[in-house]
Chain A
Amino acid sequence: MNTPEQILEVDGLVKHFPVKIGAVIKRTVGHVRAVDGVSFTLNKGETLGIVGESGCGKSTLAQVLMRLEPPTAGAVRFHGEDIFTKRGAALKALRRQVQIVLQDPYTSLNPRMTVADIVGEPFEIHPEVAPKGDRRRKVQELLDVVGLNPDFVNRYPHQFSGGQRQRIGIARALALRPEVIICDEPVSALDVSIQAQVMNLLGELQREFGLSYIFIAHDLSVVRHLSDRVGVMYLGKMVELGTEAEIYTRAAHPYTQALLSAVPVPDPSVREGRSRIRLTGDVPSPVDPPSGCRFRTRCWKATEICSTEEPELTVRSGGHHLSGCHHAHEENLLPG
């Protein structure tokens, strides 16, 4: 691979939400450490998958990257410029370049707006992309691109199925010709037979428009299918980061290994011979995460050092990709 162009750089990103009690006089009694020091980069035309279970901070990460939430600390640089210091016209220009596709196509589309209004709304804010007289045609083009009948512009969201609604959401995200699209669980609300249609569409659009995706999902099979590189999150931390092949066939972090071994594989012939790692208990509270390594309370490899010293996300001895475990050891957990 020749040196890829870096679009987005996330550096030590932290997002804490205060926990407040009291009805009138509010007191802060602690912080939910939703994202707690996450760093990664995104290159042009690539898909970075982010996996993790509920509460690991992956959706908060999306919100902060979209500048919907201010960060507590850390920086995000888009083409080398910090996005959090941008104001006015510069911020508006940035918003054009980074768009989002949300999980639930039922609540993320306004039921009282027609498809033309929904997909065309970005043009109201960024009229330079499509002059007023040209918008309807632009919207129809976009619908065609995402595989919807362009004649449907005057319909309302309830007249569409879940998969079609997600296509409307994708058309809206494409309207301003962004460079980066953040996909937050874009297919998890869809039926199995519709998932494949939307995943194929995302792949086609990426190739056609040279888009970069940050693809957030809990389904490891879906993430593998679309991603070039994958980051695994646990309790606000990135615990492992590598290429798709590295993460899925040479996972080094015990949490990644447990995740992979827990995913049911749709092939009954391998069910006897699979190695299984079963985690006990639940994810600890992000208000009061364990000292040292956050995974140690559920980890079968945990030793003294894990409770005293927080493992850094770094390339470990004998490994090739980043992992945040004192006892990292690459293993292939997949059957066959």
Chain B
Amino acid sequence: MSTPPAGPLVNTETSAAPGPTGLADAPLLEVEDLRVEFHTRDGVASVLNGVSYHVRAGETLAVLGESGSGKSVTANTVMGILPVPPARITGGAIRYRGEELLTADEERRRELRGEHVAMIFQDALSALNPVFTVGFQIGEQLRTRRGMSRRDARARAVELLDMVGIPGAKQRVTSFPHEFSGGMRQRAMIAMSLALDPDVLIADEPTTALDVTVQAQIMDLLADIQREREMGLILITHDLGVVAEVADRIAVMYAGRIVEQGDVHQLFAEPRHPYTEALLASIPRLDSKGTELQAIRGLPPTLTRIPSGCPFHPRCPRVRDVCRETDPPLLALPGGRASACLFAEELAQS
């Protein structure tokens, strides 16, 4: 590889970023009105129906939702790993530091995604290649993108493994993924994602497959790394506990849209969407023993047949006639929050 190493590339990046640079408040990554559909045997599934969110430097945005809510599809679209077809992006924009990704040419897109946005997955065993050593896989990007020699790439891989807390990194760099435990594999994935110093990290259910004591270790590690590097972290999860522990802001997804967005403290204390409210009431608590859980009735909608009006209306305890007809947009509320419920203000008073 004859590509020049890191230095100049990074410089062109920063100078190429349009708009007023140095603004701490400007989002690093922004998704706007993203629409994706899947063509399936049962018809067209509207998987994303206008999803918008953003993450700033040093901020943790939690994307909370159940299976089929579209939280992973959004992330995969951002990373450009959506299977097209069957998927089709029908609208919207993804911007990195203001630069549009979806309309950029292939080379630029690869550059932006590869260098600045990294992703880790739930199942580290299947995300890692079983026939290459962990060190080789971490070093691969350094060799291809940074033009490092094998020896340098390996040395850097050892540093990265050491940084994510793998004991005996020097010996472990030649191990294969199956020789690692679940927690160590996830650490290796994190090491790999950090190799190119990204400033946005998307973590898709990073601890769901792990035991609770290991989950705590990994969440601590992610939080430390994020703080040190001032990264923007997008944490995709279904676990309200994990969200409450680490998030700054939350976007709650349901049926391929964001139904509520806001600061973590406000959202837990005073949810402004009946779905969020119902979710919070339906989970068992570690710190108290309740008698009956307030279960949400019914099932999440099938994406080929999303109900008319508000998609949550068939399960909503606060449903009114108008909810069956009007699809409520995500509207801003005081305090930097947003809700897609027609009666968000009423929820505030109740």
Residues of A near any B CB (own CB < 8 A):
53-54, 161, 163-164, 191-197, 199-200, 203, 218, 220-222, 224-225, 244-245, 248, 258-269, 271, 276, 278-283, 334-336
Contacts and interface: CB of A to CB of B under 8 A. Distances in A.
A268 B263 CA distance: 10
A54 B181 CA distance: 12
Given A53-B213, A192-B279, A334-B286, A266 B241 contact: yes
Given A53-B214, A220-B286, 6 more contacts: A53-B211, A163-B299, A192-B282, A264-B215, A264-B216, A268-B265
B78 interface: no
A193 B69 CA distance: 12
Contacts of B216: 261-262, 264, 276, 278
B238 A244 contact: no
Interface string B219-256: 11000000000000000001111111101000000000
Nearest to A261: B216
Interface stretch (B9-17, B19-27, B144-152, B289-297): B289-297
B286 A203 contact: no
A192 B238 contact: yes
B299 A161 contact: yes
B278 interface: yes
B292 A203 contact: yes
B300 interface: yes
Contacts of B240: 192, 266
7 contacts: A193-B295, A194-B299, A200-B293, A221-B283, A225-B284, A264-B242, A276-B216
A222 B213 CA distance: 16
Interface residues of B, number: 47
B241 A193 contact: no
Interface of B: 66-67, 167, 181, 183-184, 211-217, 219-220, 238-245, 247, 264-265, 268-269, 278-280, 282-287, 289-290, 292-297, 299-300
A55 B265 CA distance: 36
Contacts of B220: 278
A289 to B, nearest CB: 16
Contacts of B300: 191, 193
Contacts of B217: 278-280
B269 A269 contact: yes
A244 B244 contact: no
Nearest to A160: B299
Contact of A265 (B213, B269, B287, B297): B287
Contact of A225 (B67, B183, B245, B293): B293
A282 B238 contact: no
A121 to B, nearest CB: 26
B142 to A, nearest CB: 28
A264 B269 contact: no
A260 B286 contact: yes
Given A192-B279, A194-B299, A282-B184, A221 B284 contact: yes
A224 B244 contact: no
A266 B265 CA distance: 11
Contacts of B292: 200, 203
A160 B287 CA distance: 34
B216 to A, nearest CB: 4
B212 A53 contact: yes
Most buried by B among A191, A200, A248: A191
B299 A218 contact: no
Contacts of A225: 284-285, 289-290, 293
A225 B216 CA distance: 22
Given A161-B299, A222-B284, A258-B213, A268 B181 contact: no
Contacts of B265: 268-269
Given A196-B293, A225-B284, A266-B243, A282 B181 contact: yes
